[in-house]
A and B are shown apart, each in its own frame.
Chain A
Amino acid sequence: MAEAMVKLSGIQKSFGALEVLKGVNLEVAKGEVVCILGPSGSGKSTLLRCVNLLEPPEQGEIFLEGHDICKGPGSGTGEQSWELNFVRQRVGMVFQQFNLFPHKTVVENVTMAPREVLGKSREEAEAKAKELLERVGLGDKFDQYPERLSGGQQQRVAIARALAMEPRVMLFDEVTSALDPELVKEVLDTMRELAEEGMTMLVVTHEIGFAREVGDQVVFMDGGVIVEQGKPAAVLDDPREERTKQFLGLVLER
Chain B
Amino acid sequence: MQEFINQFFDVGFMLDHFDEVLEGFWVNLQLFAIAAVIALLWGLVLALLRQIPGRPAKPIRGLTIAYIDVFRAVPLLILILAFGLGIPSLDFLPKALRLPQWFGKPDSFWLGCLALVVTYGAYMAEVYRAGIEAIPGGQMEAARSLGMSHFQSMRNVIVPQAVRKVPAPMLNELIALLKDTTLVSVIALNEVIQTATDIQTKTFNSSALTLGSLMFLVIILPLARVVDRMIARNQSRVTRGSHIEVA
Contacts and interface: CB of A to CB of B under 8 A. Distances in A.
A99 B55 contact: no
B246 A88 contact: no
Nearest to B164: A103
B148 A79 contact: no
On chain A, which size bracket covers the interface?
20 to 34
Contact of A79 (B53, B142, B160, B242): B53
Given A103-B160, A113-B148, A116-B148, A147 B242 contact: yes
B55 A145 contact: no
A52 B147 CA distance: 10
A95 interface: yes
A147 B157 CA distance: 16
Contacts of A147: 242, 244, 246
Interface in B128-155: 136, 138-139, 141-150, 152
Contact of A116 (B53, B139, B156, B243): B156
A203 interface: no
A93 B142 CA distance: 8
B150 A165 contact: no
Contacts of A103: 160-161, 164, 244, 246
A197 B246 CA distance: 36
Given A79-B53, A80-B54, A101 B142 contact: yes
Contacts of A162: 145-146
A18 interface: no
A89 interface: yes
Nearest to B161: A103
A77 B242 CA distance: 35
Report which residue of B144, B147, B149 has the largest number of chain A beta carbons within 10 angstroms of its beta carbon. B147
A113 B54 contact: no
A210 B145 CA distance: 25
Nearest to A162: B146
Interface of A: 52, 54, 77, 79-80, 85, 88-89, 91-93, 95, 97, 99-103, 112-113, 116-117, 145, 147, 158, 161-162, 165
